[in-house]
Amino acid sequence: MLYPAISPYASGMLCLDEAHQMYWETCGRPDGFPVLYLHGGPGDGCAPMCRQLFDPGFYRAVLFDQRGSGRSVPRGALDANRTDLLIQDIERLREMLGIERWLVFGGSWGSTLALAYAQAYPARVCGLILRGIFLGRPSDVDWFLHGMGRFFPDAWARFVAPIPQDERHDLLAAYYRRLTSSDPAVYLPACQAWAAWETHCVSLQPRAEAIERAASAYLALPLARIEAHYFVNRLFLQPDQLLRDIGRIAHLPACIVQGRYDVICPPDGAFALAGAWPKAELCLVEAAGHSMWEPAILAALMDRLERFKLFLAHGSI
């Protein structure tokens, strides 16, 4: 379903402040319609395969690794790492690339950031394609830490195993203390347990090799540390901010692709968002979980990207 592997025609490091530098890249048609890809996590980063989502004969795809993530430096950094700063990073990148408006594509935490960015800068967005909606509510964070264990009790037992029984009443705080330790003997096992937990729950059928890869020290450190940092700080969002401010983007067309059996981001978030957004189409994908790479999810996303090409060309989805 993906387009052939492609290399960026331009890339670089954008200096954000005294500490942070952000990796960015563009691929496809230099004069194509701009589309912005927002990765999940927070703390994950863009994989080369993400470029293959976008028709290189039509789109000018822009991908970047958010602060502390992927190829951005310093990896796993928590200082000056907040949602409002990520939004400003996107605007700085847009201005640097000379883009007036773009289609915004994001899944999981990428859907959170996409909504927050679009609500901050609605005039810079022509539409959104979102997957696995995460609204960043306290209930969403609590579900990640506890609720998913009702479906994956074996994986949850392994997740809580590094935390002593007397600290499990506040699992997030217990993990955050370990993840922010300066001692690798403390933070590395915590990072790896956190990443393995998330990866185990991301697909309908967990794959041992994917869990092992995600729990490697290189990938697990920024993912676990930055996710916990954002969770502790309530995603740096006001209560119900993304639903409260939906009126700012109510005029924008959107497609929401949601797995029926998405355990990480259950469908109630997608239903709440679609119910508040008149121009949003909800595509509930049966027999699918959270991962973008599950065949039915990927097929729905590729279809929406094709339909947006028609919208952009003719003014209707």
Q: How far apart, in Å, are the Cα atoms of 306 and each of 3, 82, 180, 303, 313?
A: 12, 33, 43, 5, 11
Same domain, 90 and 214: no
Which band of pLDDT confidence, cut at 50, 70 and 90, is reported for residue 4? very high
| pLDDT tens digits, one per residue of 45-92 | 999 999 999 999 999 999 999 999 999 999 999 999 999 999 999 999
Q: What secondary structure letter does DSSP report for 205?
A: S
Same domain, 25 and 60: yes
* Residue numbers annotated as active site: 108, 262, 290
Q: Provide the number of structural domains found in the chain.
A: 2
Q: What is the pLDDT of residue 76?
A: 97
Same domain, 93 and 242: yes
Same domain, 23 and 131: yes
Q: Under a CB-based contact definition with an 8 Å cutoff, are residues 162 and 194 in contact?
A: no
Is residue 192 situated within a structural domain? yes
| Domain boundary residue, one of 180, 214, 235 | 235
Residue where the block lists tokens 């999810």: 297
Is residue 2 situated within a structural domain? no
Same domain, 146 and 131: no
Same domain, 162 and 207: yes
Q: What is the pLDDT of residue 77?
A: 97
Same domain, 263 and 231: no
Residue 310: pLDDT above 90? no
- Which residues contact residue 162 at a Cβ distance below 8 angstroms, ignoring those fewer than 6 apart? 178, 189, 190, 193
Q: What is the pLDDT of residue 120?
A: 98
CATH classification at residue 77: 3.40.50.1820
Percentage, residues of the chain above pLDDT 70: 99
Q: Which of 204, 263, 193, 261 has the alpha carbon at shortest distance from 228?
A: 193
Is residue 4 situated within a structural domain? no
| pLDDT tens digits, one per residue of 123-174 | 999 999 999 999 999 999 999 999 999 999 999 999 999 999 999 999 999 9
Residue 251: pLDDT above 90? yes
- Averaged over 245-271, what is the pLDDT? 98
Is residue 63 situated within a structural domain? yes
| pLDDT tens digits, one per residue of 204-235 | 888 888 888 888 888 999 999 999 999 999 99
CA angle 56, 58, 60 (to 5 degrees): 70
Q: What is the pLDDT of residue 306?
A: 95
Q: What is the pLDDT of residue 210?
A: 87
Q: Is 257 exposed, middle or buried (0-12, 13-18, 19+ CB in 10 A)?
A: buried
State the residue range of the domain holding 173: 139-235
Same domain, 106 and 44: yes
- Which residues contact residue 103 at a Cβ distance below 8 angstroms, ignoring those fewer than 6 apart? 33, 34, 35, 36, 125, 126, 127, 128, 129, 308, 312
The tokens describing 312, both together, are 């952009």
Q: What is the pLDDT of residue 314?
A: 75
The tokens describing 196, both together, are 């393995």
Same domain, 89 and 229: no
- Whole-model pTM: value is 0.97
Q: What is the pLDDT of residue 317?
A: 53
- Which residues contact residue 209 at a Cβ distance below 8 angstroms, ignoring those fewer than 6 apart? none
Q: Work out the number of other CB atoms within 10 angstroms of the CB of residue 195.
A: 25
Q: What is the pLDDT of residue 28?
A: 98
Same domain, 157 and 111: no
Q: What is the pLDDT of residue 137?
A: 97
CA 128 from centroid of its chain's CA atoms: 14
Which band of pLDDT confidence, cut at 50, 70 and 90, is reported for residue 315? low
Is residue 14 situated within a structural domain? yes
Is residue 73 situated within a structural domain? yes
Alpha-helical (H) ranges within the chain are 83-97, 109-120, 138-145, 153-160, 171-179, 184-201, 208-214, 217-232, 241-244, 267-276, 295-314
Whats the size of the chain, residue-wise? 317
What's the whole-number average pLDDT of the chain?
A: 96
Is residue 1 situated within a structural domain? no
Q: What is the pLDDT of residue 316?
A: 59
Same domain, 230 and 101: no
Same domain, 92 and 169: no
Residue 112: pLDDT above 80? yes
Is residue 184 situated within a structural domain? yes
| Domain boundary residue, one of 235, 259, 277 | 235
Q: Which of 54, 239, 24 has the alpha carbon at shortest distance from 135?
A: 239
| Domain boundary residue, one of 184, 203, 235 | 235
